[in-house]
Chains A and B, each alone.
Chain A
Amino acid sequence: MKPVITFANFGNYTDIFKTLFEGLGLEVLPPEKTNSKTITEGVKIAPEMYCLPLKVNLGNYLSAIKNGANTIFMTTASGGSCRLRYYGVTQEKILKEAGYNVNFIIFDQKIGDIYSKIKEISGASLFQILKVFYYFYRKLSLIETLEKRAQYLRPREIEKGRTDQLFIESISKIGDLKKEKDFPKFKKGILEKFSQIQINEKKNLSRVGLIGEIYTVCDPTINFGVERKLGQEGIEVYREMNLSYHLKKKIFFKDFFIQKKVKPYLGSTVGGHGRDAIYEMLHYIKEDFDGVIHLLPAFCMPETSVRPILEKIHQESGIPFLSLSLDEQVAEAGIDTRLEAFVDVVRNYHHQGISNRLRINE
């Protein structure tokens, strides 16, 4: 049986995963873009109490399996303390019990393990694998640059919706780009297009930081496009959490420095990106932001553990804080209402000015 590979959706990065596997000479069948239908399909077979990303992933797999995929690539985190560690085995079990005959390749987030698993399935040489991964990384950083650009442009653009239109177009183009030697020219072209967007250099924009669990923060299909919605309301959104942040953290022992910063609030890891949420929130307060939005899948163990701490920081500093837990039953209208109310709070807070803010702190 020839392996036909599929994988779970991951926000804007899904398309480049596809080219990654194609670069290794494997046949790939990307999952359908996450929508309410795929989520419902996943929820049907998923354990009730598991967190949202697992249910979403299962929905993604099912859409691809229907089209003929038979091998699933899934990550695990053997060093972590949260449930992500059991995603692979649990998903494999669930799919088997639901009657799907699929081959699961569960790789750990370690260079050695990724290499050996890929080598085994594709038979590519070390040089080829390195090359493909380097190309993958270049594409990844371009996407993240564009994400940051879009965050900057959305509240400033004159023709509403122009940025998003261009952004979505560019993401799929990046995914389709095959040859690496075309990349520099292509990158230049895209950045050129972004700089052509006409903007209104408003000086006084409110700024909001997004913190929370990586999957819900990064995937606009899961968080109902929080970033886009805030941007269109004229609020500049910042988000530190992205895929390369997560990858770099592993390499540069960033956890050690984060722990030092969050020490007064939390003395240890609580699994996942629990500490990072506190770290980022403290950072945003220091940078004088006007609000913080915390996104998490409902019942996420690390994020619910740190939420009381985030609330305490919010009380101490007075910065507007909104925590949105997402699951399959959350409706877009509910999120919209809360966001709208929050935007009002943020604007008020912004206009109160710095002197007022100091008084609250006292």
Chain B
Amino acid sequence: MVIGIPRALIYWKQPHFWETFFEELGFKVLLSPETNKEIVEMGVKVADPETCFSNKVYWGHLLWLDGKVAEASPHLPKRSAGREMNEVQRTPPCAASRHSACDLIFVPRLKANQEKLEYCPKFFGLPDLAKILVKTPILTETFDPRKERTEKTFKKLGKKLKKDSRETKKALEAALSKEKELKEKEKKEFLEKIKSKKQKIILISHPYNLYDEYVNLRMKEKLEKLGAEAIFIDEVPTPLSSVVSHQSSVKFHWEFGKEIMEKIQEILKHETCPVRNRRSSNGVAGVIEISSFACGCDAVLKEFVEKEFKENKIPFLYLMIDEHTGEAGFQTRLEAFMDTL
């Protein structure tokens, strides 16, 4: 049995976690390829015109897994490079065939994270909307640690796949340790990065905008070409004590909101934080926030993020991405921003 996972939106909240989990359970996993033009176009066509750009991209990925994009352009998988290529090759029947490439598509209903903070409300309805959109059966489970222990939720998920609790537990542990391993690696890379002498730009956004290179128009690459070091807000280590966070003017109930505000506090207030120390050449030179068009949460978040940096006199640039964003326009604005630093 092949389980499809759309490589968009919630996937980036825990990359590699779900793949590992299902593979450990003995299933084949089919990840949709990295976002490309066709996927975005398909998504935009079927999505509600007023939902956010990230959601539209997600629908594109779902349709790809459902076999619809493949039908429209059979050469699609070749465009993706590297690791994705391997994914696709591992399950060869997918691309060219007219039928759905996988037996199940996994769309979890993420309601709250381990700290009992809520996700974006648009995530709550994803499985229901996915059911309307695709023909492939949807595999789903509600993750809400406020109401149910996570282990139990996983057990239920395992049961749906006819696996007993022991197997599920083992797979969960493997997935968690893989995730931890990756985090460690990321941390090491981060410590390397901040030692560099280049101007550092902090990129603030949701993981699904930061790590999806097509969606953010290769922002990182562009910044590096302009001679700066791009640091994702994700990579900044979470503050050890929660004491820092309460200085912020607003308390978010959204997990990303709280996390981003905390990390900003960490960057700004904490003298020992390596990113701080602006007087020396390795301080933060500027901040760029990227947000998807029509993202409701970002409309709130941006107000407070901007305020923090304005107060501390750190240059701040706000960029909006959607299906019509042109690279040239982005490049010009980035260059202008770099010149002001």
Contact = CB atoms under 8 A, between A and B. Distances in A.
Interface in B207-265: 249-250, 253
Nearest to B129: A308
B8 to A, nearest CB: 17
A125 interface: no
A21 B133 CA distance: 50
Interface stretch (B79-87, B279-287, B299-307): B299-307
A49 interface: yes
A105 interface: no
A267 B142 contact: yes
A267 B128 contact: yes
Contacts of A85: 253
Contacts of B298: 49
B249 A89 contact: yes
Interface of B: 48, 50-51, 109, 111, 118, 120-122, 124-125, 127-129, 132-133, 140, 142, 249-250, 253, 291, 294-300, 302-304, 307
Nearest to B51: A304
A302 B121 CA distance: 7
Contact of A51 (B51, B127, B296): B296
A305 B125 contact: yes
B300 A83 contact: yes
B50 A325 contact: yes
A47 B299 contact: yes
B307 to A, nearest CB: 7
A305 B124 contact: yes
28 contacts: A47-B302, A47-B303, A48-B299, A49-B296, A50-B299, A81-B253, A85-B253, A86-B250, A93-B249, A93-B303, A93-B304, A265-B128, A266-B128, A267-B109, A267-B142, A268-B124, A269-B124, A270-B124, A270-B125, A301-B122, A301-B297, A302-B121, A304-B50, A305-B121, A305-B124, A306-B125, A309-B125, A312-B132
Given A83-B300, A266-B128, A49 B253 contact: no
Contacts of B291: 49
B84 to A, nearest CB: 29
A298 B118 CA distance: 23
Contacts of B297: 83, 301
Interface residues of A, number: 37
B128 A309 contact: yes
Given A86-B250, A298-B50, A299-B50, A266 B294 contact: no
Contact of A271 (B51, B124, B295): B124
Interface in A21-39: none
Contact of B48 (A47, A49, A265, A304): A304
Contacts of A306: 125
Contacts of A299: 50, 294, 296
Instruction: List the 9 shortest-distance A-B pairs measured between CB atoms, nearest first.
Output: A271-B121, A49-B299, A81-B121, A301-B296, A304-B50, A270-B125, A305-B125, A86-B300, A50-B299
Nearest to A266: B128
A271 B300 CA distance: 16
A40 interface: no
Contact of A49 (B109, B121, B132, B295): B295
A124 interface: no
A274 interface: yes
Interface in A207-259: none
A93 B299 contact: no
Contact of A81 (B124, B132, B140): B124
Contacts of A308: 48, 129, 132-133
Contacts of B132: 308-309, 312
A305 B109 CA distance: 14
A90 B121 CA distance: 19
Contacts of A274: 125
B109 A268 contact: yes
Interface in A138-167: none
Given A47-B302, A304-B51, A267 B250 contact: no
A357 interface: no
A268 B142 contact: yes
Question: Which of B48, B118, B127, B253 has the most chain A CB atoms inside 10 A of its CB?
Answer: B48
Nearest to A305: B125
Question: Which of B124, B294, B298, B302 has the most chain A CB atoms inside 10 A of its CB?
Answer: B124
Contacts of B250: 86, 89
Nearest to A88: B250
Contact of B122 (A47, A267, A270): A270
B299 A266 contact: no
A82 interface: yes
A82 B296 contact: yes
A117 interface: no
A308 to B, nearest CB: 5
A54 B51 CA distance: 19
A90 B252 CA distance: 12
Nearest to A82: B121
Contacts of B111: 268
Nearest to B320: A49
Given A81-B124, A83-B299, A270-B125, 4 more contacts: A49-B296, A300-B296, A301-B296, A304-B51
Nearest to B120: A301
Contacts of A307: 48, 50
A27 B97 CA distance: 72
Interface in A41-86: 47-51, 78, 81-83, 85-86
Interface in A282-324: 298-302, 304-309, 312
A47 B318 CA distance: 12
B303 A90 contact: yes
Contacts of A47: 299, 302-303
A152 to B, nearest CB: 33
